[in-house]
Each structure stands twice: as C-alpha cells, then as structure tokens.
Structure 1
Amino acid sequence: MKSWMCVNCGYVYVEAAGDPAGGIPPGTRWEDVPDDWICPDCGLGKGEFEMMELD
C-alpha cells in the first residue's frame, strides 16, 4: 500500500487507513478514491497530492 501527501498542507492519505470520516474505507487504493474527494485538512482536491515513500 502507498501513501499520498497533500502538497499544500502535508496531510497524508494512507491507503491502508483510508479516510473513514470522508467516506473512504480502509484499504482503498488511491486510484479508487473518487476524483471529487478533497483533503480533509485544507480542502484541496485529489490532484494536489503526490505519492510519497515512507521509511
């Protein structure tokens, strides 16, 4: 599973955790997150996230 970070605020979407509060269940891969999903911290769209490697 991968992680994606909002380039604006640093919020990290972790595929294993999902975003249950935003309607995205744990285990949801990034490509399966709806295009209209927004960052729960700053409100920017999915297009403002970049894949990141976690140590």
Structure 2
Amino acid sequence: MTEFAASHDTETDPRTRMECGVCWTVYDPAEGDPLGRAAPGTPFAALPEAWCCPTCDAPPVKFLRLDDDR
C-alpha cells in the first residue's frame, strides 16, 4: 500500500481539513480548491491522484489531518 493510500484510509470524516506539512496550506473540503479543480464539498480522499498543494506543489502524502474545533 502506498503512503498516499494509507493517508486516505484513515480519513473517515469527509469534512476533515488537511494541512500541508511543507508550507502549512490548509485544504478545506467546504471550500475545495479552484486552482486544483476541486469543487467545494470535495473530501480530501476524493481529490484526483495528480492533485498537489496549490501553494508549494507537495503531493497529498505530505498532508496531515488538521485537528481543530470548528
């Protein structure tokens, strides 16, 4: 199993925000990623394989679950 798949397997809540471990950009499913062509409401686990951080081009495997009280 790849690291990318492993990071997606642990995500259970489609509203979970993810933070880039390189530049700290936050991917918020409620907002999506207009630059990466992810519509609002797209869970991190549903992003295309070719998706990368819109700020630093880090791959999804570099993203960490953001535990916050929103």
Structures share fold, TM-score greater than 0.5: yes
Q: Which residue of 2 aligns with 1:44?
A: 58
Greater CA radius of gyration, 1 or 2?
Answer: 2
**Aligned-residue offset at 1:53:** 1.5
Secondary structure at 2:45 match in 1: helix
- Write the letter of the residue equivalent to 2:48: P
Matching residue within 19, 30, 44 for 1:16: 30
More strand by share: 1
CA distance in 2, matches of 1:44, 1:33: 14
Q: Which residue of 1 aligns with 2:7?
A: none
**Aligned-residue offset at 1:54:** 2.0
How big is the alpha-carbon RMSD for the aligned residues of Structure 1 and Structure 2? 0.9
Segments of structure 1 that go 5 or more residues without pairing to the other structure are: none
- Write the letter of the residue equivalent to 1:10: W
Secondary structure at 1:31 match in 2: helix
Matching residue within 33, 38, 47 for 1:33: 47
Residues 32-53 of structure 1 show CA distances to partners (whole Å, capped at 9, x for unaligned) of 0012101011111111101111
Greater RCO (Cα-Cα under 8 Å, separation 6 or more): 1
Aligned structure 1 segments of 4 or more residues deviating by more than 6 angstroms: none
CA distance in 2, matches of 1:38, 1:8: 12
